[in-house]
Chain A
Amino acid sequence: MNAAVLVQLLVSGLAMGFIYALVGIEYTLVWNSTGLLNFSHDKLIMLGAYLFGGTFVLGMGFSNPLAIVLAFVIMGLIGVLIANGIFNPLRTMQSMIFAVMGTMILGRIIKEACRLIWGPAPFAISGWLSGNIRIGKISISNANIIICLVSLLVVIGLQLFLNFTKTGKAMRCVAQNKKAAALMGINVTQNICITTAVSAIICSIIGILIIPLFNVSTTMSNSIGLKGFSAGVIGGFGYLPGAIIGGIIIGIVENLAVMVLPAVYKDVVSFVLLILFLLVKPTGLLGKRA
């Protein structure tokens, strides 16, 4: 095992880590704002990739930036629909199982719809985030670098949005205390719509970013969705910086684990980490509350 391979594994691990971090952020936003888990998030990631690749780039022949913007707009609208159709009516039910099952069934519907609309065969988008950069012996794919950069931008942008805009501050208020937020004149229902829309847009960013890694298929995001949950638990459930740290840890650890374990068990690593953290430190690395 030479140094060049190690560096390559680290870089691709870091890129995957950023993807998990984005997944962690995306569902933590919804969790904080509604107290519910969005189990359709992996299907939303897939839907974002299909909208971008299948409809706008390959189907209509738009340029990439235009396709990205259109995908964002549609995903944002879908987010509002989910909030109004599932989260808002079902979040006040006595048990969260109703809303959670609603999102799970929605995920199924999205998956079936994608299969019916775009066909069951996976496809690639040629020329999207392709190519490599060589530094000495080390070869790094452009996709990994762009994933890291875009993820950093999203993280920074989101922090600015949450800390310096009125809507962002309102989102944090709703996350902390819905009753008090409502008394302060924040429209909680509308705020949940906005949060879900932001979360859906982040989903589509993830979907578009992982096209070069997994191609566009109905199963492209299955494992990512689950590992995003592990990332949240490892970093501290319901805490945004925790989700980022947890995601990066999982990405790097599972990529380095390939050196000792057979490659097929790569997906097991995040689950083992999840159980270990629950046993040893259930609050996660950065979690505050017990």
Chain B
Amino acid sequence: MTKKMKIRIAEIIILLIALLVVPLFVKNNYYLLVFNRILINAIVVLGLNFITGLTGQMNLGMAGIFALGAYASALITRYANISPWVGLLLAIAVGWVIGQCLGYPSLRVKGVYLSLTTIGFAEVIRLMFSNLTDITGGTQGMRNIEPYSLFGFKFDTQGKMYYLFFVITAFGFFIAWRIVYSKWGRVFKSLRDNAEAVEMSGVDIADVKIKAFTICAIYGAVAGALYAHFMGYINPSTFTIDMSTNFVIMLLIGGLGSVIGNIFGAIIVTILPEMLRFLDDYYLITFSIIVLLGAIFFPNGWVDAVVRLGKKTINIISDKRAENGKAVSR
């Protein structure tokens, strides 16, 4: 083990410990709620990164996948009267089915069809859930969804849920990290850069795209299931196209294809509107304008922009020092 790796591992452990003790110091339930939302959003963005960030296919219907996961888990917990963990498994299955059924027609042919089908799919899902009043409660939504529990220990407060979601997000992050730096991840990335060359190398690009989309749908559905049991109340009017747009904004702000960027994107886009709440009626438009300007001027993501700025200042400082005849250390 090299020295660099040791430092890296130490860094990760310190970060994990810092994140784990957060609920001990933050007693405010509202802050914890925001943290939990960040964790759930992060899972969605990690998934979205595969199809939109790596293979470059626009998925604009993440809200529909999220909603389907949420309702699948909530409905089976309610009507079959079983543990929400089974709902989580069901959500994984639902995600796989969406990935295959929606991915096959829209990714088999070249073009922008995925963005159109996913956007339509999300609308249809929302309409179905608002109109199937007997099963889903329609626009009234579903109330009193049971929280997760483990061997009799109920995750019923924001602080307890924080730990649960933290573990699940960390697990999701680890898997995403491993996939991105595996053979699959490399094929996904090469697809974005030059699809023709990949096809010439004997890779079935449709199959690869469907794979990426399926992973994305599974992540989305799992996050949806977590959301249902976290909020305890779901309503179809939450899962609008605005929600899908928000997820893509998170991906964009974090930087396409970067797994750590995904997490930062989820943090920024979840916290920034909350911080702008003091603007009252104008907070959403201010937030949108900030994001639009960011998309035009820092298309590679805000994280990348900050890193570059940091490197530039370091370079300038060390240049200055070199001019003054001091040692240069870059």
Contacts and interface: CB of A to CB of B under 8 A. Distances in A.
Interface string A79-104: 00000011001100111111011101
Contact of B105 (A90, A116, A270, A279): A279
Contact of A278 (B109, B131, B241, B256): B109
A282 B108 contact: yes
A230 B249 contact: no
Contacts of B116: 229-230, 233, 274
A98 B304 CA distance: 15
Q: Which of B58, B104, B192, B282 has the most A CB atoms < 10 Å from its CB?
A: B58
Nearest to A273: B120
A-side interface mostly: helix
A18 interface: no
B289 interface: yes
A138 interface: no
Interface string B98-132: 00000011101101110111011101100110010
B291 interface: yes
A180 B253 CA distance: 35
B245 interface: yes
B58 A97 contact: yes
Contact of B284 (A100, A112, A275): A112
Q: How large is the interface on B (under 10, 10 to 19, 20 to 34, 35 or more residues)?
A: 35 or more
B289 A109 contact: yes
Interface in A223-277: 223, 226, 229-230, 233, 237, 262, 264-265, 267-268, 270-271, 274-275
Contacts of B121: 271
B296 A97 contact: no
A274 B120 CA distance: 9
A98 B295 contact: yes
Contact of A112 (B113, B288, B295): B288
B131 A109 contact: no
B120 A101 contact: no
Scoring A101, A262, A265, A267 by chain B CB atoms within 10 A of each residue's CB, the highest score goes to: A101
Given A264-B131, A275-B105, A226 B58 contact: no
Kindly name the residue among A37, A104, A268 whose own CB sees the greatest number of chain B CB atoms within 10 A.
A104
B256 to A, nearest CB: 7
Contact of B296 (A102, A108, A223): A102
A102 B242 contact: no
A264 B285 CA distance: 32
B214 interface: no
A182 interface: no
A39 interface: yes
A5 interface: no
A97 B112 CA distance: 11
Given A278-B105, A282-B108, A105 B113 contact: no
B127 A230 contact: no
A229 B241 CA distance: 15
B249 A95 contact: no
B123 A101 contact: no
Contact of A96 (B58, B60, B108, B131): B58
A213 interface: no
Contact of B111 (A89, A102, A237): A237
A262 to B, nearest CB: 8
Interface string B238-260: 00011001001100100010000
A106 interface: yes
Given A98-B299, A226-B123, A278 B117 contact: yes
17 contacts: A95-B192, A97-B248, A101-B249, A102-B296, A104-B248, A109-B285, A109-B288, A109-B289, A112-B284, A226-B120, A226-B123, A229-B116, A229-B120, A237-B112, A271-B117, A275-B117, A278-B113
Given A102-B292, A264-B127, A265-B131, 11 more contacts: A96-B58, A98-B299, A101-B245, A102-B295, A104-B60, A112-B284, A116-B281, A264-B131, A267-B123, A275-B117, A282-B109
List 7 tightest A-B contacts by C-beta distance, closest first.
A112-B285, A278-B105, A271-B120, A282-B109, A105-B292, A264-B131, A109-B288
